[in-house]
Amino acid sequence: MTAEPRAKTPRTREPGLQKLYYAAHTYMILGLISGLAYREITKAKNFTGDTQLALLHTHLLALGMLFFLISIVLEKLFTLSASKLFDWFFWTYNAGLSLTVIMMAIHGTQTVVGARTSDAVSGAAGIGHIILTLGLIFFFVMLGRQLPGPSVARKNDAGRISRPRSSNDPDNERPASG
């Protein structure tokens, strides 16, 4: 007697979750690669000073991977992707973070090899930070709009629905202590 194989149920993919997952995964890979690159480049050049390359690893992991992992949880709780601002947030935030870390990589590499860094690199990094900030503004506006409002009716301990009581409600008086 052999058991029949169980039919696999197709897993439905939620586009918002997928976007956030792939973004987190991409930033994790880039963060790890940047840490390795920092170590190898500074070792090859016998560089011991300060460089933006040292911060690149942390920026990619914290602002990239961790931010999007937290966003996955918020997506499951509040369906952020249902908001009209979701795509604005997603692409603006990614563009700002990408521009910022690319400029950090350029500036850091030029520091390690002893080249002078152009003012344009600093200007582009500043623009990246501004775009990143716009992405964060879109994110918080979107999150605020997706948060549930106060409940009009609540279930009491017995499972019955009751209306909320206000402080002016005469039925809400406390018994006199004595």
Per-residue DSSP letter, 155: E
CA distance 64 to 15: 19
Do the domain assignments include residue 61?
yes
* CA torsion, ordered 81, 85, 90, 91, to nearest 10 deg: 140
Residue 142 in any domain: the answer is yes
60-72 pLDDT, tens digit per residue, is 999 999 999 999 9
Q: What is the mean pLDDT of residues 32-41?
A: 96
Specify if 77 maps to a domain: yes
In a domain, 170, yes or no: no
Q: Is the residue at 112 inside a domain?
A: yes
Which residues form the domain of 25? Answer: 16-146
- How confident is the prediction for the chain on average, in pLDDT? 87
Identity (one letter) of the amino acid at 103?
M
Do the Cβ atoms of 68 and 24 come closer than 8 Å?
yes
Other C-beta atoms closer than 10 Å to the C-beta of 155 total 10
Q: What's the average model confidence in pLDDT over 14-29?
A: 96
Q: Give how many domains the chain has, as a whole number.
A: 1
Within a domain: 159: no
| Residue 28 placed within a domain | yes
Mean pLDDT along residues 92-104: 98
Please, which pLDDT band fits residue 2 given cuts at 50, 70 and 90? low
Kindly state whether residue 121 falls inside one of the protein's structural domains: yes
For the cut 90, the answer to whether the pLDDT of residue 18 exceeds it is yes
Instruction: Check pLDDT > 80 for residue 158.
Output: no
